[in-house]
Amino acid sequence: MPGTKLDQTDRMILAQLQGDGRMTNVELASRVGISAPPCLRRVRTLEEQGYIRGYHADVDPRLLGFEVQVFAMVGLHSQAEADLVAFENLCRAWPLVRECHMLNGEIDFILKCVAPDLSSFQSFLTEHLTAAANVASVRTSLVIRPAKDDPGVPFDVLEDRLAKEG
Protein backbone atom coordinates (compact mmCIF):
# COMPACT_ATOMS: atom_id res chain seq x y z
CA MET A 1 0.00 0.00 0.00
CA PRO A 2 1.31 3.48 -0.80
CA GLY A 3 2.34 5.41 2.27
CA THR A 4 3.47 2.34 4.20
CA LYS A 5 7.16 2.91 3.50
CA LEU A 6 6.89 6.16 5.43
CA ASP A 7 7.14 5.91 9.19
CA GLN A 8 4.69 7.62 11.52
CA THR A 9 6.97 10.64 11.98
CA ASP A 10 7.19 11.20 8.22
CA ARG A 11 3.40 10.98 7.96
CA MET A 12 3.02 13.42 10.86
CA ILE A 13 5.39 15.85 9.12
CA LEU A 14 3.34 15.62 5.93
CA ALA A 15 0.07 16.11 7.78
CA GLN A 16 1.38 19.16 9.63
CA LEU A 17 2.84 20.76 6.51
CA GLN A 18 -0.35 20.06 4.56
CA GLY A 19 -2.24 22.06 7.19
CA ASP A 20 0.32 24.88 7.40
CA GLY A 21 3.18 24.96 4.92
CA ARG A 22 4.53 28.21 6.34
CA MET A 23 5.43 27.00 9.82
CA THR A 24 9.09 27.10 10.77
CA ASN A 25 11.14 23.96 10.97
CA VAL A 26 11.44 24.49 14.74
CA GLU A 27 7.64 24.62 15.10
CA LEU A 28 7.23 21.57 12.86
CA ALA A 29 9.81 19.62 14.85
CA SER A 30 8.03 20.52 18.08
CA ARG A 31 4.66 19.40 16.72
CA VAL A 32 5.97 16.01 15.60
CA GLY A 33 8.16 15.45 18.67
CA ILE A 34 11.66 15.46 17.20
CA SER A 35 14.52 17.95 17.20
CA ALA A 36 14.95 20.49 14.41
CA PRO A 37 17.99 19.06 12.52
CA PRO A 38 16.52 15.58 11.86
CA CYS A 39 13.16 17.21 11.07
CA LEU A 40 14.77 19.34 8.39
CA ARG A 41 16.56 16.29 6.97
CA ARG A 42 13.27 14.39 6.83
CA VAL A 43 11.49 17.29 5.11
CA ARG A 44 14.24 17.54 2.49
CA THR A 45 14.06 13.77 1.91
CA LEU A 46 10.26 13.95 1.55
CA GLU A 47 10.73 16.74 -1.00
CA GLU A 48 13.37 14.80 -2.93
CA GLN A 49 11.20 11.67 -2.98
CA GLY A 50 8.26 13.64 -4.36
CA TYR A 51 5.94 13.34 -1.36
CA ILE A 52 6.05 17.12 -1.05
CA ARG A 53 5.45 18.55 -4.50
CA GLY A 54 5.71 22.20 -3.54
CA TYR A 55 4.46 25.01 -1.35
CA HIS A 56 1.92 27.63 -2.31
CA ALA A 57 -0.47 30.20 -0.90
CA ASP A 58 -4.19 29.43 -1.05
CA VAL A 59 -5.42 32.69 -2.56
CA ASP A 60 -9.07 33.73 -2.70
CA PRO A 61 -10.00 34.04 -6.40
CA ARG A 62 -13.04 36.23 -5.70
CA LEU A 63 -11.00 38.80 -3.79
CA LEU A 64 -8.73 38.99 -6.85
CA GLY A 65 -11.65 39.61 -9.20
CA PHE A 66 -12.27 36.06 -10.44
CA GLU A 67 -15.99 35.91 -9.72
CA VAL A 68 -16.82 32.90 -11.88
CA GLN A 69 -15.86 29.27 -11.31
CA VAL A 70 -17.05 26.64 -13.78
CA PHE A 71 -16.63 22.91 -14.18
CA ALA A 72 -16.50 21.86 -17.82
CA MET A 73 -17.10 18.24 -18.78
CA VAL A 74 -15.38 17.53 -22.09
CA GLY A 75 -15.92 14.65 -24.49
CA LEU A 76 -13.41 13.99 -27.25
CA HIS A 77 -13.93 12.42 -30.67
CA SER A 78 -10.83 10.24 -30.23
CA GLN A 79 -9.28 8.76 -27.10
CA ALA A 80 -6.06 7.69 -28.80
CA GLU A 81 -3.12 8.45 -26.52
CA ALA A 82 -1.70 11.10 -28.84
CA ASP A 83 -5.08 12.88 -28.89
CA LEU A 84 -5.40 12.72 -25.10
CA VAL A 85 -1.91 14.16 -24.66
CA ALA A 86 -2.63 16.89 -27.19
CA PHE A 87 -5.75 17.94 -25.26
CA GLU A 88 -3.87 17.88 -21.93
CA ASN A 89 -1.20 20.13 -23.45
CA LEU A 90 -3.87 22.58 -24.60
CA CYS A 91 -5.33 22.68 -21.09
CA ARG A 92 -1.90 23.43 -19.62
CA ALA A 93 -1.62 26.42 -21.96
CA TRP A 94 -5.05 27.90 -21.09
CA PRO A 95 -4.71 30.21 -18.07
CA LEU A 96 -8.40 29.98 -17.12
CA VAL A 97 -8.14 26.19 -16.74
CA ARG A 98 -6.85 25.64 -13.21
CA GLU A 99 -7.32 21.86 -13.05
CA CYS A 100 -7.67 19.20 -15.72
CA HIS A 101 -8.48 15.59 -14.90
CA MET A 102 -8.89 12.69 -17.32
CA LEU A 103 -11.86 10.52 -16.33
CA ASN A 104 -13.11 7.04 -17.01
CA GLY A 105 -16.66 6.86 -18.30
CA GLU A 106 -18.89 9.05 -20.43
CA ILE A 107 -16.80 12.18 -19.91
CA ASP A 108 -13.17 12.22 -21.02
CA PHE A 109 -12.01 15.25 -19.01
CA ILE A 110 -13.31 17.55 -16.32
CA LEU A 111 -11.84 21.04 -16.15
CA LYS A 112 -12.01 23.48 -13.28
CA CYS A 113 -11.99 26.97 -14.73
CA VAL A 114 -11.98 30.44 -13.21
CA ALA A 115 -12.81 33.71 -14.95
CA PRO A 116 -13.35 37.32 -13.98
CA ASP A 117 -16.93 37.24 -15.28
CA LEU A 118 -19.35 35.21 -17.38
CA SER A 119 -18.53 36.97 -20.63
CA SER A 120 -14.82 36.16 -20.19
CA PHE A 121 -15.65 32.52 -19.60
CA GLN A 122 -18.04 32.51 -22.57
CA SER A 123 -15.28 33.87 -24.81
CA PHE A 124 -12.89 31.17 -23.60
CA LEU A 125 -15.57 28.52 -24.12
CA THR A 126 -16.42 29.51 -27.69
CA GLU A 127 -13.03 30.70 -28.95
CA HIS A 128 -10.81 28.07 -27.35
CA LEU A 129 -12.44 25.09 -25.68
CA THR A 130 -15.24 24.17 -28.08
CA ALA A 131 -13.08 25.23 -31.04
CA ALA A 132 -10.20 22.94 -30.04
CA ALA A 133 -9.29 20.02 -32.27
CA ASN A 134 -10.86 16.70 -31.25
CA VAL A 135 -13.43 18.26 -28.85
CA ALA A 136 -16.78 16.59 -29.47
CA SER A 137 -18.85 18.01 -26.62
CA VAL A 138 -18.63 20.36 -23.66
CA ARG A 139 -21.10 20.58 -20.81
CA THR A 140 -20.59 23.27 -18.19
CA SER A 141 -21.80 23.80 -14.64
CA LEU A 142 -21.43 27.14 -12.90
CA VAL A 143 -20.35 26.90 -9.26
CA ILE A 144 -22.82 28.68 -6.99
CA ARG A 145 -20.68 28.29 -3.86
CA PRO A 146 -18.13 25.83 -2.56
CA ALA A 147 -19.27 23.60 0.29
CA LYS A 148 -15.87 21.99 0.91
CA ASP A 149 -12.42 22.57 -0.52
CA ASP A 150 -9.87 20.62 1.51
CA PRO A 151 -6.46 20.24 -0.10
CA GLY A 152 -4.34 17.10 0.05
CA VAL A 153 -5.28 13.81 1.63
CA PRO A 154 -7.04 12.79 4.87
CA PHE A 155 -4.14 11.59 7.01
CA ASP A 156 -6.49 10.33 9.73
CA VAL A 157 -7.96 7.85 7.22
CA LEU A 158 -4.43 6.70 6.28
CA GLU A 159 -3.48 6.23 9.94
CA ASP A 160 -6.68 4.28 10.68
CA ARG A 161 -6.05 2.02 7.70
CA LEU A 162 -2.44 1.39 8.72
CA ALA A 163 -3.50 0.64 12.29
CA LYS A 164 -5.99 -1.98 11.06
CA GLU A 165 -3.35 -3.63 8.85
CA GLY A 166 -0.65 -3.59 11.50
User: pLDDT tens-digit profile of 55-95?
Assistant: 999 999 999 999 999 999 999 999 999 999 999 999 999 99
Over residues 117-131, mean pLDDT: 98
pLDDT at 4: 52
pLDDT at 2: 54
pTM exceeding the 0.95 threshold for the entire prediction: no
The 3-state secondary structure of the chain reads CCCCCCCHHHHHHHHHHHHCCCCCHHHHHHHHCCCHHHHHHHHHHHHHCCCCCCCCCCCCCHHHCCCEEEEEEEEECCCCHHHHHHHHHHHHHCCCEEEEEECCCCCCEEEEEEECCHHHHHHHHHHHHCCCCCEEEEEEEECCCCCCCCCCCCHHHHHHHHHHHC
CATH 1.10.10.10 location in the chain: 1-57
CATH for the stretch 62-142: 3.30.70.920
For the chain, percent of residues with pLDDT exceeding 90: 87
pLDDT at 1: 43
CATH 3.30.70.920 location in the chain: 62-142
The average confidence (pLDDT) of the chain is 94
CATH architecture designation of domain 1-57: Orthogonal Bundle (1.10)
